Structure 1
Amino acid sequence: MATPNEPTSEPSAKARLAGLLLLLVIACVLPFLVSNYRVFQFTLALVYAIALLGLNMLTGYNGQISLGHGAFYAIGAYVAAILMDKFGVPYWLTVPVAGAVCLLAGFLFGLPALRLEGLYLALATFALGVAMPQILKYKHLEHWTGGAQGIVIVKPEAPEWTGLTQDQWLYFVVLAFLLVLFVIGWNLLRGRMGRAMVAIRDQPIAAQAMGVNTAMVKSLTFGVSAMYTGIAGALGAIVIQFVAPDSFNIFLSITFVVGIVIGGLASMQGAIFGAVFIQFIPNVADQISKAAPWAIYGVFLIVFMYVMPGGVAGLIRILFGRFQRRRR
């Protein structure tokens, strides 16, 4: 514990709030300064940030490793696409429905998975991520999923009173969902549920001895994490206007893991930095080398992990601590 004369490396509540407000101002101004294609890219980055928020709750705060969250992203995307294509449900209403479906799916998957820990749980979720594209192609589900051809979605129009383009409107819709889910997650992690999640991660035996229902907390955490990812999947489907089984392969799940590690484990703000990384760094690598873009991407990963072993959020904490020491 830091003494009154010893600076702490953790940013104060005011510093965190100021940083978040600055990010929010930049996010609100950004779509008016770049092209529609860049707005589309930043919208996808916000979508990935929602998915990373959910996965970070599970892995960073609760200590459960998942290599199959791309499956819940796919479920959310297909729920939204089917509701819009088959039943004419408004796009904004499909998002909470997709979240509810994934909450239930994640909770039910988490119940039997409670018997597994560490790499065994990771392998079970990996199997889920591998199987999902094949399930979506199953011939008896083709009427709903469209089989290998997928489903095309009509792009929502922006309300006339906004004066925004379609891409700008979807950007602000996704940003609004991100802010709401960020606040919900912030309050959840700061409350009793969040303390129980961290206690199970750090000292599971002690947490159980203190009366924490570890089985229920783990299942609920898995469900909430899947809900966040499902909401991201629904928003991603609306933004891209298309879903197909091959879009949700196991590489998507691995990409989410890369995002939470780059952004910073057990850091909600880190989800934003991780989302920017997984959205834009592959494009940068492709521009550097058309022949071997993934080799360049691998180099970026190695450099980031060497320079920032605690992720971007960890680097910010270190720099803030050094700044405080110099001021004193």
Structure 2
Amino acid sequence: MSTLRRRFAVPAAWTIALVVGVIIPFVVSDFDLLDLTRVLTLAMAVAGLNLLLGHSGQLSVGHGAIFGLGGYAAIIPVATHGWPWWAGVLVAGALCLVFGLLLGLVALKMGGANLGLLTIAVAAIFPLLLIRLEPITGGTFGIYLAGSPIEAPAWTGLTTAQFGFLVSLVVLALTVLVLRNLVTGRLGRALSAVRTSPLLAAANGVDVNRTKLIAFAVSSVAAGIGGAFYALVIAIAVPDSYLVTFSITLLAASVVGGSRTWAGAIVGAAIVVYLPTLAEGIVGAQAAGNWSQLVYAAGLIITLAIARSGLVGGFTTLVRRATRTAGHIPAVTNPH
């Protein structure tokens, strides 16, 4: 496939995906839309991880906690003060930006590869803090809403599930667009240099610490907004939803889906949502959780061993090779 054709193929594919996404709420039930909306919200967090892991070479095992922070930051003012849902999302994005900056600064002060260790600690402590801060967070029982506050205006004629899906779809599209523009611009070149070799990047005038901090902060905002929509869509936020295993699951989704592709974020998020349901149908509800974790681990190992670019990256590579091979097949001439 020529460079020109590839240049137009990617936007065309995303346009088709967006059109299909707009049609989906009108052809599936509201029950199924809930799971599909969860995929979109989780994809925002995984896309943020892709920026961090795939484009800057940093490892975070705490994005589940940041996702949860966004969820609580959005649902608390809505539940206790009657704020509109969009105000809760803005608060979540701002709080996660500040948290990402502070956490990134601490990691840089610690030096080395301590971001991964620091985020593991954050992921472990976060559910405990939620339980301890019971007057604010509801403790073990969390915070419940009577229904999703993301309600459709009467003039749209949409159900709450349809409106929630479409809003999440638009926000995911904007998230991917912003992240894509970041990695294709000047910051993207700096991120690529840092991922390849921090020492070489610094020698070429790249502010390595500043670049890493920006990547982590932006990634945190994406995860926080995703968490905000997740909590508001399912109308609940509980500490058990944001355990360390959830952070590891998000990391596995990034790697398995493809940490250097934005489509990989959607594929990874779909695996997170639908794998437990599939496991429940095979081994039963009681063992489904353990089997899901086992499959995540196995998928992670297999992906790293066979398709290091993830499912989407591996598929794209196969398509390019097949197209290139087809283009080099000589034409058969008629001897007569």
**TM-score normalised to structure 2 length:** 0.89
Q: Is the aligned partner of 1:49 residue 2:43?
A: yes
**How many residue pairs are counted as aligned between the two chains?**
319
Instruction: For residue 10 of structure 1, report the CA deviation from its aligned partner.
Output: 11
Query: Structure 2 matches for 1:220-259, cutoff 5 A?
Result: 220-259=214-253
- Mapped partners of 1:96, 1:11: distance in 2: 39
Q: Is the aligned partner of 1:273 residue 2:272?
A: no
- Mapped partners of 1:16, 1:130: distance in 2: 39
- Mapped partners of 1:9, 1:275: distance in 2: 30
- Give structure 1 stretches of 5+ with no counterpart: 1-6
- Going from structure 1 to structure 2, the CA distance change for 1:33 and 1:301 (only over 3 Å counts) comes to farther
Q: Is the aligned partner of 1:284 residue 2:278?
A: yes
Instruction: For residue 108 of structure 1, report the CA deviation from its aligned partner.
Output: 0.6
- Mapped partners of 1:301, 1:8: distance in 2: 37
- Mapped partners of 1:307, 1:281: distance in 2: 21
- Which residue in the other structure is 1:4 paired with? none
Q: Which amino acid aligns with 1:56?
A: N
Q: Deviations over 1:133-169 (max 9, x none)?
A: 011111xx32211111211124222211111111111
- Which residue in the other structure is 1:325 paired with? 325
Instruction: For residue 43 of structure 1, report the CA deviation from its aligned partner.
Output: 0.1
- Which residue in the other structure is 2:298 paired with? 302
Instruction: For residue 296 of structure 1, report the CA deviation from its aligned partner.
Output: 6.4
Query: Structure 2 matches for 1:1-328, cutoff 5 A?
Result: 12-114=6-108, 115-118=110-113, 120-138=114-132, 141-153=133-145, 154-156=147-149, 157-290=151-284, 292-293=287-288, 294-295=290-291, 298-299=294-295, 302=298, 305=303, 308-321=307-320, 322-328=322-328
The percent of aligned pairs where both chains have the same amino acid is 37
Q: Is the 8 A contact 1:54 1:226 kept in 2?
A: yes
Q: Deviations over 1:274-323 (max 9, x none)?
A: 11111112211211221643436635763663664421221222222112
- Mapped partners of 2:139, 2:291: distance in 1: 33
- Mapped partners of 2:15, 2:269: distance in 1: 18
Instruction: For residue 36 of structure 1, report the CA deviation from its aligned partner.
Output: 1.3
Q: Is the 8 A contact 1:83 1:89 kept in 2?
A: yes
- Mapped partners of 1:41, 1:274: distance in 2: 14
Instruction: For residue 200 of structure 1, report the CA deviation from its aligned partner.
Output: 0.5
- Which residue in the other structure is 1:3 paired with? none
Say which SS state the counterpart of residue 262 (structure 2) adopts: coil
Structure of larger gyration radius: 2
- Going from structure 1 to structure 2, the CA distance change for 1:9 and 1:246 (only over 3 Å counts) comes to farther
Q: Deviations over 1:54-79 (max 9, x none)?
A: 11111111111111111111111111
- Which residue in the other structure is 2:331 paired with? none
Instruction: For residue 86 of structure 1, report the CA deviation from its aligned partner.
Output: 2.1
Q: Which moved more, 1:246-255 or 1:284-293?
A: 284-293
Q: Is the 8 A contact 1:9 1:320 kept in 2?
A: no
**TM-score normalised to structure 1 length:** 0.91
Instruction: For residue 324 of structure 1, report the CA deviation from its aligned partner.
Output: 2.9
- Root-mean-square deviation over aligned CA pairs: 2.0
Instruction: For residue 209 of structure 1, report the CA deviation from its aligned partner.
Output: 1.0
